[in-house]
Copies of this chain bind each other. A is one copy, B any other.
Amino acid sequence: MNLQNALPNEIRAQIRSGALQVPTSGMAKGYVQANVVILPSKYAYDFLKFCFRNPKTCPLLDVSEVGSPSFMKYGKEADIRTDVGLYRLYKDGKFVEEYQDITDLYTDDLVSFLIGCSFTFEHALLEAGIPVRHIEENHNVPMYITNIPATPSGTFQGNITVSMRPMTMAEAIKATEITTQFKEVHGTPIHIGNPSEIGIQNLATPDFGDSVNIKPNEVPVFWGCGVTPQSVALDAKPEIMITHAPGHMFITDVKDSEMSH
Contact = CB atoms under 8 A, between A and B. Distances in A.
Contacts of A65: 154
Contact of A60 (B44, B45, B52, B63): B52
Interface residues of A, number: 14
Contacts of A53: 72-73
A245 interface: no
Contacts of A60: 52
A49 interface: yes
Interface string A48-83: 110011000000100101000000110000000000
B45 A52 contact: no
A230 interface: no
A151 interface: yes
B72 A151 contact: yes
Nearest to A152: B72
A234 to B, nearest CB: 21
Contacts of A52: 48, 52, 60, 63
A65 to B, nearest CB: 8
Nearest to A72: B151
Interface in A20-65: 44-45, 48-49, 52-53, 60, 63, 65
Contacts of A63: 49, 52
A151 B73 contact: yes
User: Max chain B CB contacts within 10 Å: which of A60, A65, A151, A154?
Assistant: A65
Contacts of A48: 45, 48-49, 52
A65 B44 CA distance: 14
Given A44-B45, A45-B45, A65-B154, 13 more contacts: A45-B48, A48-B48, A48-B49, A48-B52, A49-B63, A52-B52, A52-B60, A52-B63, A53-B72, A53-B73, A72-B151, A73-B151, A183-B183
16 contacts: A44-B45, A45-B45, A45-B48, A48-B48, A48-B49, A48-B52, A49-B63, A52-B52, A52-B60, A52-B63, A53-B72, A53-B73, A65-B154, A72-B151, A73-B151, A183-B183
